Amino acid sequence: MPYFERFDDGTRERMAPELMAAACDAFGLQMVDAAFVGHSENVVYRVTARQAGVDHEYALRISNPTRCTTPQIEAECRWIAAITRETSVVSPEPLLTPDGRHLVEVALPGLPAPRRCALFPWLRGELIDAPRPEHLHALGVVTAALHNHADTYGRDEQIDRPTADWEALLAPFARGEFVAAWESYTEPVVTDAERLVYAEAAARLEENIRGIPTDRDYGLIHADLHLGNVLYHDGEPRPIDFDDCHFAPYMTDVATTLWQLHGDNQVALRAAYMEGYETTRPAPDDWERQVAAFMAARYFSMMDWMLGWRREDHMGSASQAMSDSARKLRAYLDSPD
């Protein structure tokens, strides 16, 4: 759902500063300046805010009002805070309001629903467009550290985050159902041949994922740990955007990172990543089988996300991505189990 739904640009430009200033005020800060960073599921601004006469930079995240509940976002923030306190992994520890909340709800006249806002320190670092083996090796170490932490985090408490439900996600594709929310789009979402590939791959994945154990190498994961969600500072990977975190087999994280790697050096990059991972945590004996399944399943989670866009071209061409994914899934079907 878009940030201000169907409001025109003028309304958005007028209301955004009011919303950000109110959110900063709830955290005990005075907003000085703000710059738009990006909008996917959530909206992020780079905010300069003042406290006791000193200016600091923050990432202000305004959550999609229908995506997660307030307790779920609070649970995400508590996990990030625990990671920064209890591990060597550097992540932006979310701020607390004066009364101890990670999240504030801001209601303004004209907004269809209150907006839930969280503030994170602005983390220094750069995105890596052309990764080298050392980048992946370091990320493998960090991923394993997150999994080691998840082994014991929250063992004695209920954590309000979802559990991966691949069966529910794959079932419509296995039935050949493609229902897109794209307004004014009248063309078929996929061809008949592509529909068959999706159905066959979904059915195969349902069976393969069902056989992956959940009594080991399973816990709370980042779930979207691709290089677009990792900042590098002096060679150190710093994961950001834990918005998708949920309970799943740990190899889901590994598959998400490796899924994105392409080009002539992808074999070397993948080897460096797993070498880094295993310096900190042993991979499951069947890790290759698990990763192959979750890499294929990633196409379905991406397609499910794209089908929910309001416009077909919200972040590129969803229909073209559907065709590209069908070709990749054909290769998965042609490979041995």
E-assigned strands of the chain?
30-39, 43-51, 54-62, 104-106, 115-121, 218-221, 230-233, 236-239, 246-249
* Domain ranges for the chain: 9-121, 133-334
Residue pair 26/106 in contact (Cβ under 8 Å)? The answer is: yes
Determine whether 193 is exposed, middle or buried from the number of CB atoms within 10 Å of its CB (0-12, 13-18, 19+).
exposed
CATH node for 133-334: 3.90.1200.10
Cross-strand partners of 47: 34, 58
Q: Which range is least confidently modeled, 83-92, 111-120, 141-150, 319-328? A: 111-120
Percentage with pLDDT > 90 across the chain: 77
Structure tokens at 46: 């780079």
> In the prediction, which pLDDT does 157 show?
73
pLDDT digits (tens, 9 = 90+) for 223-273: 999 999 999 999 999 999 999 999 999 999 999 999 999 888 999 999 999
- 9-121: CATH class: alpha beta
Q: How far apart are CA 191 and CA 219, in angstroms?
A: 38
> In the prediction, which pLDDT does 1 show?
37
Asked if pLDDT for residue 40 goes beyond 80, the answer is no
Please check whether the two domains, 9-121 and 133-334, share a CATH topology.
no
**DSSP helix/strand/coil, 160:** coil
> How many other C-beta atoms lie within 10 A of the C-beta of residue 281?
18
pLDDT digits (tens, 9 = 90+) for 143-193: 999 999 999 997 767 899 999 999 999 999 999 999 999 988 988 999 999
Q: How far apart are CA 181 and CA 178, in angstroms?
A: 10
The pTM of this model reads: 0.92
